[in-house]
Structure 1
Amino acid sequence: MSPDSPRGSTRRGALAFPLVALVGVILVSLNLRTAVTSLSPLLGVIDAEIGLGAAGMGLLGMVPTAMFAVWGVLTPMVLRRMGLELLTVLAMVAAAAGQIIRALAHDPVVMGVGSLIALAGMGIGNVVAPPLVKKYFPRHVAAVSMAYITGLQLGTVVPALVAVPVEEAAGWRVSIGWWAVLAVVAAIPWIVEILNPGVPTAPPRHVDGATDAPARRIRPWRSPVGVALALFFGTNSLCTYAFFTWLPAVAESIGMTRAEGGLALAVYSAIGLVAALVVPWAAGRFEDPYAVVVVSVVSYLAGFAGLLWAPGAAWVWICLLGVGPSTFPLCLTLINLRTRTQAGSAALSGFSQGVGYTAASLGPLVFGMLFDGPGLGAGLAFLTVVLVIMTVVSRTACRPNMLEDTLR
């Protein structure tokens, strides 16, 4: 090898820079929910100081899914004009800036602006993470997806667990603002990649015989695979976010205490960590991972039946409900397993998450109206219909067909 050979072409570079990319992907995943779950436990304290009011707290609760949906649609458009790594850096900078603005807020307007900026960054991060995996680790999609999804789950659970202790020790501004440091750190590996590009584990322009042309515009809605995965993501997100919002109230309605209701939500969320480790592995090992959908749906339905007809065993049913969102890591993993190219992964990621988080914003609203009106049975009947739809559309999403091969 000549002295003029680029560093990225050396064996050392081929090893080192994918490791930098792996660290970068994991750090990004840890940042994708911190602005959501670090704020929720402190809304009462923040309201008392800056006067959010019921309407303000309600709007802050709607911002995450709304921004995730909007940026699910917009991010692929931006990607056609900007490199994947640069957009990732900008997403993390936005996440950090927004959280700092929120920590300095002295009125609801500034708090709202900070939330919009932070969650725009995280919405972009949601979309760019799968194509980053596709670009740098095309031969290790399942393994790296497992690491990335586990990071996302940890970034969901840990901020909620430490929010109150940090607030009690240092105040709510520190409790919600210090997560900006993690976002800044997550940008560093991608700045390194921009300044000194590394070598993916396989050439990104030739995956399964396909040529990855970033300039090519892929329209996922013109493929049955794209439509099926978007609907799969949407129905999964609707059910998941309905329970994220209403499970404590549901638990209280069947005789549990307020403290037990909060613990029920923690258990529901924590089971997702196990799914994050198992499901991407299963999706990569089996050509058709539809069995994951069947297990998830059956667990949900058994949990519904138990809540209605045997509430005395509530913890059993809550654990079964926690198995239900195992379809979430499956959806994220399928974004890469059902595309041949980085461009396809980016387009499918944006489309499926745009549809998914739009549906997610409707789930808590519709379930809440039914729960407060006719009662728990009506709310669970609505979610049962959603699960039936998910069972049908996920059949197409799980079959081993590629987005690029099915475009019409």
Structure 2
Amino acid sequence: MTAVAAPAIHDPTVSRSLFASRVTVLLAIALSAFTMRSAVTSMAPLLARVADTMGFGGTVIGVFGMLPTAMFALAGFAAPLSRRFGPERLALLSVLATAAGTAGRSMASDTSELMAFTTLALVGMGIANIVIPPLVKKYFNDRVALMSAVYLACLQLGTIMPAVAAVPLAESYGWRASLAIWALIPAVAVLPWILVLVRRGTNGTDRAARTGKTIGPIWRSPISWGLTFMFSMTSLITYAMFAWLPVIVTSAGGSEALGGAMVATFSGVGFLATLVTPRLCARAANPFPIVAASALCFLVGFAGLLWAPLTAPIVWAIFLGLGPSTFPAAITLINLRSRTETGSAALSGFTQGMGYLLASPGPLIFGILYNATGRWELSFGFLLVPLIALLAGGYHACKPRYLEDTLTPSRKSGSDAVEDVVEGELLPECSTSCS
């Protein structure tokens, strides 16, 4: 099912065409990945300015804060559209929506327009969350770990750069220009995706989308739930730290500058982890030790912030930054634990759709517990629950097996069993025993 398998005949023309196709897809994926968080992090530092201009208060700011995870969760359930229309078309739709929403909100005249265009941009980004991992598997099945690292590195850069540049741009050109400039990258990404679609039509590689092959109920697989808890609990803890780390530092007597430095360290170490973790996952038959080590790093960071926040604050931030290594691990495992593009798309949609839904209340609960007690013990105690769930999910997600195999009904035989797994297509292991 891989669209770029090496041709049997060593025709230089075919080889050049194949190389050009992969380069185009690589460019399209890299540009899309860069846009997958930019609309969030370019807005967050400017919310107070925007609120002053638009005249909305803390409640609306809170709604803007919850929109990303809510829209990412909603977009996760669009995974069946990938099978019907093809992931390339959805990728094109995602960058169009992101560009239109990002540009539109910079010109919004009131709060409702700002909210509507922001929602459009976030839905576009959420669709990209779902379709990029299966596209990596489809076009780079022989380089899954490397391409996962490239994709995740671009995603991290697209998270950090808008946050760093937002305020300086707003100071120089105004907040509208600061928001609008980030529409350029998804707009540029439209062209390579159009080229990918043209090449795909020429090569006839959309057969899988036309045949409508499906897999069985994905929620029946322990891999699905393992990856969901691994992904969601990582996101919950990470978003809680992003939201509350500066407050933890200042409440202990540290400066705002120190809080900012810790957030920067937290983000920077996470970026470095995305370059290494996919390769480690691909080389290990069972990468659960990576999950266990990441959980231990989270635990050390929690303990340091709770009991000695100003003793070695940058050290605690480094440990916290290593904790979310389970995020690139989960994204990489979506492809490593599926045999087919169809399986990867279904697993990506379920993992991220359910994952963001489960993660969304985490920062709110963390803050409510602190506001209720004025202390951090209950808040960090709460984070032990997702940490345990992360370990349990990682244990099941990391076992060396495939999604499609776990969905094979052992009590059925013949065509019924095959039909539940992949309609009209036998898996390699089933080609003799199930016939």
Normalised to the residue count of structure 1, the TM-score between the two structures is 0.93
Equivalent position of 1:49 in the other structure: 53
- Indicate how the Cα distance of structure 1 residues 12 and 115 shifts in structure 2: closer, same or farther if over 3 A, else same: same
Contact 2:200/2:206 (8 A) holds in 1: no
CA distance in 2, matches of 1:378, 1:169: 42
- Indicate how the Cα distance of structure 1 residues 255 and 199 shifts in structure 2: closer, same or farther if over 3 A, else same: farther
Equivalent position of 1:90 in the other structure: 93
Q: Which amino acid aligns with 2:388?
A: V
Equivalent position of 1:315 in the other structure: 314
Residue 38, structure 1, aligned to residue 38, structure 2:
no
CA distance in 2, matches of 1:70, 1:32: 15
Equivalent position of 2:415 in the other structure: none
Larger Rg over CA atoms: 2
The CA deviation string for residues 112-145 of structure 1, in whole angstroms up to 9 with x for no partner, is 0011100000000000000110110111100000
CA distance in 2, matches of 1:36, 1:102: 12
| Aligned positions of 1:182-331 closer than 5 A | 182-197=185-200, 214-311=212-309, 312-331=311-330
Paired residue secondary structure (1:100)? helix
Shift of 1:372: 1.5
Equivalent position of 1:125 in the other structure: 128
Q: Which amino acid aligns with 2:144?
A: V
The CA deviation string for residues 136-164 of structure 1, in whole angstroms up to 9 with x for no partner, is 01111000000000000000000000001
Paired residue secondary structure (2:312)? helix
Shift of 1:265: 1.4
In structure 2, the gaps of 5 or more residues are: 1-8, 410-435
Equivalent position of 1:359 in the other structure: 358
RMSD, aligned CA:
2.2
Q: Which amino acid aligns with 1:401?
A: R
Q: Which amino acid aligns with 1:259?
A: A
- Indicate how the Cα distance of structure 1 residues 229 and 8 shifts in structure 2: closer, same or farther if over 3 A, else same: farther
Equivalent position of 2:378 in the other structure: 378
- Indicate how the Cα distance of structure 1 residues 15 and 198 shifts in structure 2: closer, same or farther if over 3 A, else same: farther
- Identity percentage over the alignment? 44
Equivalent position of 1:28 in the other structure: 32
Q: Which amino acid aligns with 2:60?
A: G
The CA deviation string for residues 229-256 of structure 1, in whole angstroms up to 9 with x for no partner, is 1111111111111111111111112221
CA distance in 2, matches of 1:215, 1:198: 19
CA distance in 2, matches of 1:141, 1:58: 38
Contact 2:231/2:351 (8 A) holds in 1: yes
Contact 2:215/2:404 (8 A) holds in 1: no
Q: Which amino acid aligns with 1:302?
A: V
Contact 2:262/2:313 (8 A) holds in 1: no
The CA deviation string for residues 13-67 of structure 1, in whole angstroms up to 9 with x for no partner, is 0111111111111111000000000000011111111112111111111100000
Contact 2:84/2:212 (8 A) holds in 1: no
- Indicate how the Cα distance of structure 1 residues 385 and 175 shifts in structure 2: closer, same or farther if over 3 A, else same: same
Equivalent position of 1:390 in the other structure: 390
CA distance in 2, matches of 1:255, 1:168: 29
CA distance in 2, matches of 1:49, 1:308: 38
Residue 332, structure 1, aligned to residue 336, structure 2:
no
Paired residue secondary structure (1:79)? helix
Shift of 1:350: 0.5
Contact 2:226/2:392 (8 A) holds in 1: no
Shift of 1:81: 2.4
The CA deviation string for residues 70-127 of structure 1, in whole angstroms up to 9 with x for no partner, is 1111x21222321211111111000001011110012111100011100000000000
Shift of 1:8: 11
Contact 2:234/2:324 (8 A) holds in 1: yes
Runs of 4+ in 1 over 3 A off after TM superposition: 203-206
- Indicate how the Cα distance of structure 1 residues 199 and 223 shifts in structure 2: closer, same or farther if over 3 A, else same: farther
Shift of 1:344: 0.5
CA distance in 2, matches of 1:38, 1:331: 26
CA distance in 1, matches of 2:288, 2:206: 28
CA distance in 2, matches of 1:234, 1:265: 21
Paired residue secondary structure (1:340)? coil
- Indicate how the Cα distance of structure 1 residues 198 and 257 shifts in structure 2: closer, same or farther if over 3 A, else same: farther
Normalised to the residue count of structure 2, the TM-score between the two structures is 0.87
How many residues get paired?
Answer: 396
Contact 1:96/1:181 (8 A) holds in 2: yes
Shift of 1:215: 2.6
Paired residue secondary structure (2:404)? coil
CA distance in 2, matches of 1:253, 1:213: 58
